[in-house]
Structure formats: C-alpha cells, structure tokens
Amino acid sequence: MKVKVLSRNPDDYVRETKLDIQRVPRNYDPTLHPFEVNREYTRALNATKLERVFAKPFLASLDGHKDGVNCMAKHAKSLSKLLSGSCDGELKVWDLTKHECVRTLQAHEGFVRGIVVRFCGTSFFTAGDDKTIKQWKMESPGYGEEEEPLNTILGKTVFTGLDHHQKDGVFATCGQQVDIWDEQRSSPIRSFTWGVDSFSAVRFNPVETELLASCASDRSIVLYDMRESAPLKKVIMTMRSNTVCWNPMEAYYFTCSNEDYNLYTYDMRFLDRPITVHMDHVSAVLDVDYSPTGKEFVSASFDKTIRIFPKDGGRSREVYHTKRMQHVICVKWSADNKFILSGSDEMNIRLWKANAAEKLGVLTPREKVAVNYSQKLKEKFQHHPQIRRIAHHRHLPKSIFHQTKELRVMKEARRRKERNVRKHSRPGAVPVVSEKEKHVVTVVK
Amino acid sequence: MASPGKASVSDSHVGKKKKPPARYWQEETDGEKKGAEDGGRAAEEEPRTQKPKQEEHQRDGKRFISGKSDPFPGPAPIPEDRLQKFKRKEKTKKHRRQHYKLRDIITRSEEASEMAQKQAARFDILLPEDAGFLEGDEEEDTYTISQEDIADAVDITSGAKYFNLKLSQFGPYRVDYSKTGRHLLLGGRRGHVACVDWQSKQLMCEINVMESINDVKWLHSETMYAVAQKKWLHIYDSNGIELHCIRKFNDVLRMQFLPYHFLLATASASSFLKYLDVSVGKEVTAICTKTGRLDVMCQNPHNAIIHLGHPNGTVTLWSPNQKEALVKMLCHQGGVRSVTVDKSGTYMVTSGMDKKLKVYDIRALKPLQSYFLPAGASCLSLSQRGLLSATTGDVVQVYKDVCNTPVTKPYMAHRVRGTAWGLSFCPFEDVLGVGHGDGFTSMLVPGAGEPNFDGLDANPYRSAKQRQEWEVKALLEKIQPELISLDPCELGQVDQATFQQRHQDRVQALGFDPLAKEKFVPKYKKKGRSSTGNVEKRKRQVAHEDQRDIIKQTVEDKMKMEKERKNREKKKAKLSGSRSALDRFKN
C-alpha cells in the first residue's frame, strides 16, 4: 500500500515571530476564485462610488486683487509661482504652496491685457491698456528700492495680447496688428495685418517655435511664420474665437475657444474642418489651456464654470463651479499636471485639482497599486449602465442645468426643421452638413 | 591561456606568432625584452581582432564569450495543460473592417491577458504542496484498506485526523465544515450543537437547544452559525450565544450558505425557498416552489444556483431573481434522495429512491453516467478534487472519477456505527466528515482536498486579525443577489440585445407600449369637405415615405439577386453537361 495524505507544516504558513508580516500563500487557480467577473464588477462599482465621494476639487481661493482678474501667467521655471494681472492695472505674484501674495505692483493704468514670463524665468513682460509693454525683473526689489520696470516700450495702439518666444529674445503682441518685437529694440521687427482691425490673442507654437496663431475679430484664426513677411493662412468661422492654445505634445493641433459656446480643435495642416468640436458650455468660452501631457485641456467660460475636455472627446469629462465664482476670464493648467488655476470676475483666483478625486501628497506603494487597480477596473466596466450613471453624474447649478436642456431642445428643433426642409425640397438641394463643417466659413491662403 | 614561458618557447620557430604581454613576475631577460615589445603591440591588436567576434556571440544570444552555447535559450517553456488551466476565454476574431483604434485596444488587452496567463502558469509550478493519493499493492483493491491501516501508515498529525466521536445520545448528526476547513459544526437531531476546532480538537462551544434540529450551517466566518430548529431559524455565535431568532423563516429543513453573496438559502417543509441576506439581516426573496416538502438541497458553487430535489423525481434549479424554476429535470423514477454539484459547476450527481446514482452535465443538462447501487445512496458529497462520497445505510463509499468514466469499484469504503445522516468533505484537507446515529466519524480520504489554498480567499491558518481584514474586504465586494444567473460570466459579455428586444421587454413589463402613437380617431363632423378624416387619409398616403424607398430598394435587390442566382444555376447546369437519360426527350 502506498499512501500520501495532505499534511501541511503550520510553520510554512504562519509567521515566525510577531514582528514579521503575515504570510499569504497564493494560488491563482480560477476554480478557487469563482464569480470573478461579478466580484470585479462590484469592486468597480465601489471604486466609482468612492471616486464620487472623494471628488472635492476645490483647494484654495487666492484673494487680494481689487478688480477682476484679467490674465495669468505660469512661471517658466518654478511650479509654485503664479502671476496675475487685474482690470485695474495691478499685478500680483503668488506663492501657490503658501496660498499668499508675495509681491504687488501697479503695472499699468487700465487693464493688464497680457503677462508672459521669459523662458529663463528671470523677467516677465506685461502689456496694458495704456499702450505700453513693460519688462519687469522677477525678483522683488530690495528694501527701499522702488518698483520700476527694466524696460518700457511705448506702442502706438492698445495691446490686447502678449506671448514670448520659447528660446529667443523675441516676443509677439497683438492689437490692431500682430507685432513681433525684439527685446533689445523699441519698435517691432515685423508687423502682420490681413485686412483685420483687431486681434484678441496670439500664441507661439511650443515646438515649431517660429510659428504663431492668433484670433482676429473678423471671426478668423490666422497662422503666421515669424520668418516670413506675410501671414500663412487663416480659417474664418461663423463666430469669433476668443483665445487659442497649442497642444504642447502634438504641436500641429491647436484648440480655440469660441463665442458660439464651443471649442474647436484644428489640425494646422488641414484647416477646412476641425478635428473635434467640443461642446458642453452654455455660454461663450473665454479661455483655454492645455495640460502639459497634451491629453486634456481646460476651458473657462462666461457661464461661470470651468470644464475639462479630453483632447479628442466631444464632451467634457469634468465641470467645476462654485456658488461664488462669476464669469471665468482666464484659466491655466499647472506645469506638474496636477492643478488648475482660474481667475474670474469677482477678483479671485481659484486653485483646483485637475483630477477631482485624486489624493494629494506622497502615496505609499500600496496606495499606488490600489489606485492603479481601481482605475483599471473603472475603465474596464465604464460602459455598464449603473457605473456609467454614477461616473457621469455631476451636480450643476440650476441655471446651467436648465440652459443645457434648453439648448438641447433648440438644437433638436433646428435639426428637425432642417430635416423637414430637406424632405420637401428637390433631392440634393439641401445637403447634409456635418457638425464639424457647419462652423467653418472658409479657409484663405 | 598559455603561460608566458611557453610563449617564449613558441616564438622561436614561428616568427609571426603573437605573444601575450609580459607580466610583472616574469624575469627580465634579453630575449624576453624584445618579446615584451612585441607583446605590447599584440595586446593592442588583440582586442581589435576579438571584438567583432564577441559582438557576434552576443547578437546570437546563444553563445557566451567562453564559446559555449546556452543550453536553455529563451524564456522557460510552459506546459500546455497548465496554460490551459488559466485560460479565461478564446481570442476575439478580428474583422477586417474593424476600426483601427478598437483593433489596437483588443490586441493590447489580449497581450496583457496572455502575459497574465503565462505568469500564473509559471507560478503554478512553484506551489508547495502536492495532492494526496492511495495506491494498493498488486491485486489489492484500495477499498479493502481500512482506515486504521491508513492512519497507521501516515504521519502522526495526519493519523490524528481519523477519529470517532461517540455521541449516541442526541444523534443522528448533521455536519458542516467552515469555508477554510478549520472548524466543524455538528448538529444533533435531538438538539445538540457543538462547534469544534477539529484539528486541535478544541471545543469552541457546546449547547443543547432543547428542540429538534433539522440542519446546521456556518455563516461566512467561524464566528457565526445558523441552526434550523423545529420552528424557526436561529443564529448563534461561536460562544453559543443566540444572536437572532428569525421568525420569518419557519420549518426550515435544509440550508445552504452562498459565501460570495452573503446569502443564506433555506428550504422549508412548507415548500418555500427563502433567501436571507446575512450582511444586512433582510429577507431577499421568498419563493413558493409549490412542490411539497423540500428536504433535498444543494448549491452550485460555480454560479450560486440552488438545486432542489423533489419526491416526484425532479431536480429544480432556482435563483432568487425568478419566481419559477430556471430548470426542471426529471432525474429519477422515484423521489430524489440527495443532490450534489462539483466545484466547477460542470457535473451534478443525484441519487434517488430507484436506487440509482446519476451524473449529469448541468451546463448541457444531459445525463452522463448512471449507476445502480444495491441499497441506494442517502447522502452524497463531492470533494474539491472531484471524489464522490455516498452513504448507503451505515456504509460510506468513496468513488473516483465517476463523472467521466464508468466506475465499477469504489475507491474507499468504511462502515460507521449508525445510519449516516450528514456527510461533508473538509475543504483543503483529505478528510471526510460523516455524521451518523452514533456520533461523528472523521475519515481519511487521500486525494480529496485541494492541496494549495489561496491566502486571500480561504486561509486555514489565518489569525483573528487576518480574518477581520478578510471580512471587511469580503463584505465590500459582496455580490448583489440580482447578479445570480446560470452563467456567472454573463456580466463580462457584450449585451447583444437590440433596441427592438429591449422595447419588447419594456412593453411586457409595463403592459402597454410607451412609444406607441395614439391611434387617430377622426372627429365626427357633418359639414365641410376638408374633414379631419380626409386629412388623415392624405397623411396615410405619405406615411412612412422615408422607409418606403428603402423597402422598395431592398425588394428590388432581392429580386435581382434571385434572378442572378437562377441564371447562374442554369449556366452551371449547362456547363456541367451532366445529361440525364431523360434529357433527350426535352426537345
């Protein structure tokens, strides 16, 4: 007779001393783990619910401005510094870690229209309604010294926007025309006009550093090459664009925020139709900024909300609002991809988390694993109705909720009418125009 | 390497031969000074000649600098059967017209799951324990080997797992092992309840409920158990303190606990099947089965479906989501005496009054084997590794591989002192517990238990702290009773229900069609020609205009296809030239 009976030595399965961690022998045999899918689903559901529970995006409000915040700039080298300019010409430098203002200066008379930090981070430029461009030192003046700009340029017209080159001592302004300035000179080295009376924003391309994009008041977005004397091309849309922002990773894409409540992502090479139309705002979109990863962007709107869109998604993944936040004029995504800053009408700058449910601070390895695992589960079961309902639910202010509904009804009515017109007219007389093509009037080269 | 001395010898007859560099221990002689000069040059040259060779070896990945080749190139091979064990599903078919993004996602997820499968299979080789076995000598049948012999042959701790408890006063006994296999619950017919840490033979509590007991069952952990008493269902803790008396559950005869759903399913004499959620203490559903006294019950551990056996020979399958049975199977000519389902949810074994033991494939609902037992089996139990134990009177028999191959002899047999009433294999141990009229017998059945447990699921060696942590985790991932269905993987599949199907379901549930337009009733008007009736008539003329074109088109297409097909057939017939004998009468 040969016999063997299961006989385990407890020493192999129990920890030796109380100081050790417990032993957990594993066996991944699927038959020992029944209901795999159901249990994963339950975990995913719990993770989704917890995400909603922990979604507290608002971190801090930076108050101190005496008028609405009109523009902001990130520091090129330091994560914790933020510059903001208000409608009364005051400029403040903030320390974000301490949530306090470290420096205040009266930069202009009237609005501060644009701020930009030089790529080296030692100085910054401001442009204002008083037709001046000023260069300031980043360091605050010593005791007893006066706040004085390093350099002041007197322009002929009002400036509405400002951006600096990524590598060279060159910057661009916009106003009645787009000007390219050398830091050393007091007159522009180049001026671009294209039968347009005013521009609202100008941005350098972060990769192809000689390229610029600007938004003009004749509802067009104009592209320039700094090395050439004439603009490259422009696309004219049905409504005016307010600002434009390049995707930092795929720098042939840019997104513009439009007065018709939408944002449009274009491919620089094919301007005849946008790549994606981002809808969800219920009022004019005033500002847009990309995350440093280039996967998402944040937009600020006149409807008192901030929304976060995936770069290739038509609908927003997140909406931020508070009772006290009024029309949001400017918005920035921090360079560490974790925070969002918004400046609004009621004189405050607000600091938000980019991922509403993210835990801030150092994570232990176990926490990291758990976060990654639940993230994957949520992704896996995202289309299940129960989970989708919870994940997509956002509480909205009453006015926005009703406006969204109203817009939907209006859109549906317009669609229905068009369909009826098409039905009762000669075949081909009323062609079907896709949502993407609807908003582009023409492309001029 | 040749020693420097040899090199100096060899350079005498071959002038061009390279020399190794001179080393510090060499004596400097005149002849060698020159050699050292040569050697210096040689040392410079050597790497130049050797380098490309070395690179070549590395590029192969098979040869080392020493020139030997790797005897085991590449990653270690994994046996196919082990890989198969961890396979969750077949690869999805890729359509040519699939969107490239979707195709990428599918490819990537398949790669990930394949890697996980391989890793799991690799890890499987490292598992520490092997399953037990029992082999007789030549011409010796294993069922003739007595328990005493086995207990003597194995080590002391295993030998101690064969024992008898003489409890003749309150018997016969029902038996239940906890999920980890560490704790044993005994419930005597005449009111005696005892829970024992059976490996250390430590008595946790012992009470007499002063009522007859129909069944006992551990709940999710060893701290609580349920006792089906004469009238009501009671829940006690491991100290024997009564926690609850649930009066909604009366006349319970059999119970099953679904560990992942935290549901206690009870079958009563009044033919009610009731589910109790033990995590919140609420009744989930009560189903009136209308089939009389329910005293045969088991659960399918694979999909948490309850199997009930009935006196008319049928076995019915139940889920808490449906008031009718999911499946009704006629299994026996007489009444069903016992039912059991294996761990993977593939096989169901039943025994009936017709003295037959039958094996069914419950995925296909087809009979596989049928055995005739002279006295018929009163209790059945399947072990984790697929051994079947059956009791006939006071004899306990264990069979091996009953499901696939016809078996003639039992694997083991043992006679207990009274008629067996309760039977259960101990999880993760080679032990079979038999409750009978004269107490309890713990038998050794080599090869019954799963040798390697998973510490996060059911750990027999867990501490109190570990148990508490497990309890929290398990409660967090409690599966809702709505998810119980015949196929437990249903949730992971694409819902193919079309809009029409869903609409139909909705209509059925509501009792009316919510999307239906109101039927037009013309107003009864006596004067005027443009009556609403005429308007309706005109409307009907243009109704479904958009669909009409499509319908017309499809009809035309179909006709065209049909015509083409006929033409092709005609041509084919002509070309094939297979003329039958009657074709000459055609023209």
The DSSP annotation for A187-212 comes to: S-SEEE-SS-S-EEEEEE-SSSTTEE
Closest by CA position to B483, among listed A40, A31, A377: A40
A contacts of B88 (beta carbons < 8 Å): 30, 36
pLDDT at res. B283: 95
Contacts of B82 (CB under 8 A, 6+ apart): B121, B124, B125
pTM for this predicted structure: 0.83
A18 touches chain B (CB under 8 A): no
Q: Are B193 and B217 in contact (CB under 8 A)?
A: no
At CA B305, angle to CA B299 and CA B310, rounded to 5?
Answer: 65
Q: Which amino acid is at B296?
A: V
Which pair of tokens denotes residue B127? 């598992």
Chain B, nearest residue to A6 by Cα: B132
> Using CA atoms, how far apart are residues A200 and A113, in angstroms rounded to an integer?
10
Q: Cite the DSSP H helix spans in B386-531.
A: 464-476, 499-510
- Count of Cβ atoms closer than 10 Å to residue A114 Cβ: 25
Nearest residue, CB atoms, A34 vs list B123, B260, B449: B260
> Using CA atoms, how far apart are residues A359 and A373, in angstroms rounded to an integer?
15
**Sheet containing strand B412-415, strands side by side:** B379-382, B388-392, B395-399, B412-415
Beta bridge partners of A216: A199
A150 touches chain B (CB under 8 A): no
Q: Say if residue A54's pLDDT is above 80.
A: yes
Chosen for mutation from B425, B443, B470, B491 (greatest number of chain A CBs closer than 10 Å) is: B491
Span between the terminal Cα atoms of chain A, in Å = 94
Q: Which 8-state DSSP code applies to residue A270?
A: B
pLDDT-based confidence at A362, cuts 50/70/90? very high
pLDDT at res. B1: 42
Inspect the interface and report whether the beta carbons of B430 and A2 lie closer than 8 Å.
Answer: no
Inspect the interface and report whether the beta carbons of B86 and A6 lie closer than 8 Å.
Answer: no
Inspect the interface and report whether the beta carbons of B454 and A4 lie closer than 8 Å.
Answer: no
Q: What is the pLDDT of residues A130-159, one digit of tens each?
A: 999 999 999 999 888 888 999 999 999 999
> Using CA atoms, how far apart are residues B289 and B312, in angstroms rounded to an integer?
13
pLDDT at res. B525: 63
Q: What is the pLDDT of residues A121-134, one digit of tens each?
A: 999 999 999 999 99
Nearest residue, CB atoms, A3 vs list B153, B452, B490: B153
Positive/negative CA dihedral, B193, B196, B201, B206? negative
Q: Mind telling me how many Å the CA of A372 is from chain B's nearest CA? A: 15
Q: Are B403 and B359 in contact (CB under 8 A)?
A: yes
Closest by CA position to B178, among listed B299, B259, B242, B267: B259
Chosen for mutation from A2, A5, A46 (greatest number of chain B CBs closer than 10 Å) is: A5
Chosen for mutation from A1, A4, A6 (greatest number of chain B CBs closer than 10 Å) is: A6
A24 touches chain B (CB under 8 A): yes
User: For B585, left (φ over 0), alpha (ψ -120 to 50), or beta?
Assistant: alpha
B contacts of A8 (beta carbons < 8 Å): 129
Q: Mind telling me how many Å the CA of A30 is from chain B's nearest CA? A: 6
Long-range contacts, B343-347 (Cβ 8 Å, 24+): B343/A31, B343/B301, B343/B302, B343/B382, B343/B384, B343/B386, B344/A31, B344/B302, B345/B300, B345/B301, B345/B302, B345/B303, B346/B302, B346/B403, B347/B382, B347/B403
CATH, domain A58-353, list 3.40.50.2000, 2.130.10.10, 3.40.50.2300, 3.40.50.20: 2.130.10.10
A420 touches chain B (CB under 8 A): no
Chain A, nearest residue to B546 by Cα: A423
Q: What is the pLDDT of residues A178-200, one digit of tens each?
A: 999 999 999 999 999 988 779 99
Which pair of tokens denotes residue A411? 């859109």
- Count of Cβ atoms closer than 10 Å to residue B152 Cβ: 11
User: SS3 breakdown of chain A: % helix, strand, coil, rounded to 5?
Assistant: 20, 35, 45
- Count of Cβ atoms closer than 10 Å to residue B108 Cβ: 10
Helical pair A36-54 and A365-380, crossing angle rounded to 10 deg: 110
- Average pLDDT over chain A, rounded to whole? 94
Helical pair A385-392 and A36-54, crossing angle rounded to 10 deg: 10
- Divide the 587 residues of chain B into consecutive groups of 10 and give the mean pLDDT of each group: 41 54 62 45 44 48 76 86 88 83 90 92 90 90 93 93 93 94 95 94 94 95 95 94 94 96 96 95 94 94 95 95 94 94 94 94 93 91 94 93 90 93 95 95 94 93 94 95 92 78 85 77 66 79 80 93 94 78 73
A22 touches chain B (CB under 8 A): yes
> Using CA atoms, how far apart are residues B172 and B192, in angstroms rounded to an integer?
10
Inspect the interface and report whether the beta carbons of B145 and A1 lie closer than 8 Å.
Answer: yes
pLDDT at res. B17: 55
Could you write out the DSSP letters of every residue in B24-92?
TTS---HHHHHHHHHHHHHHHHHHHHHHHHHHHHHHHTSB-TTSPBPSS-SSPP--HHHHHHT--SPPP
Beta bridge partners of B327: B317
Closest by CA position to B114, among listed B92, B131, B133: B92
Inspect the interface and report whether the beta carbons of B129 and A6 lie closer than 8 Å.
Answer: yes
Helical pair A36-54 and B464-476, crossing angle rounded to 10 deg: 80
Contacts of A86 (CB under 8 A, 6+ apart): A65, A66, A67, A68, A69, A70, A92, A112, A347
Q: Which amino acid is at B282?
A: K
Phi/psi of residue B452, nearest 5 degrees: -115, 120
Chosen for mutation from A12, A20, A23, A38 (greatest number of chain B CBs closer than 10 Å) is: A38
Inspect the interface and report whether the beta carbons of A39 and B260 lie closer than 8 Å.
Answer: yes
Q: Mind telling me how many Å the CA of A399 is from chain B's nearest CA? A: 30
Mean pLDDT of A371-375: 95
A contacts of B161 (beta carbons < 8 Å): 5
A14 touches chain B (CB under 8 A): yes
Inspect the interface and report whether the beta carbons of B477 and A42 lie closer than 8 Å.
Answer: yes
> Using CA atoms, how far apart are residues B115 and B94, in angstroms rounded to an integer?
20
Inspect the interface and report whether the beta carbons of A28 and B86 lie closer than 8 Å.
Answer: yes
Which pair of tokens denotes residue B498? 């079309």
- B360 CB burial (10 A radius; 0-12, 13-18, 19+): buried
Contacts of A322 (CB under 8 A, 6+ apart): A58, A350
Nearest residue, CB atoms, A2 vs list B135, B302, B459: B135
Element at B299 (helix H, strand E): strand B296-300
Q: Say if residue A378's pLDDT is above 90.
A: yes
Mean pLDDT of A396-418: 94
Inspect the interface and report whether the beta carbons of B455 and A42 lie closer than 8 Å.
Answer: no
B contacts of A7 (beta carbons < 8 Å): 154-155, 157-158
A383 touches chain B (CB under 8 A): no
Element at A133 (helix H, strand E): strand A132-137
Chain B, nearest residue to A44 by Cα: B477
Nearest residue, CB atoms, A6 vs list B303, B451, B462: B451
Nearest residue, CB atoms, A24 vs list B129, B455, B491: B455
pLDDT at res. B529: 64
Q: What is the pLDDT of residues A224-248, one digit of tens each?
A: 999 999 999 999 999 999 999 999 9
Q: Are A83 and A127 in contact (CB under 8 A)?
A: no
Which pair of tokens denotes residue A197? 């009376």
pLDDT-based confidence at A332, cuts 50/70/90? very high
Q: Is the ipTM value over 0.90, yes or no?
A: no
A26 touches chain B (CB under 8 A): yes
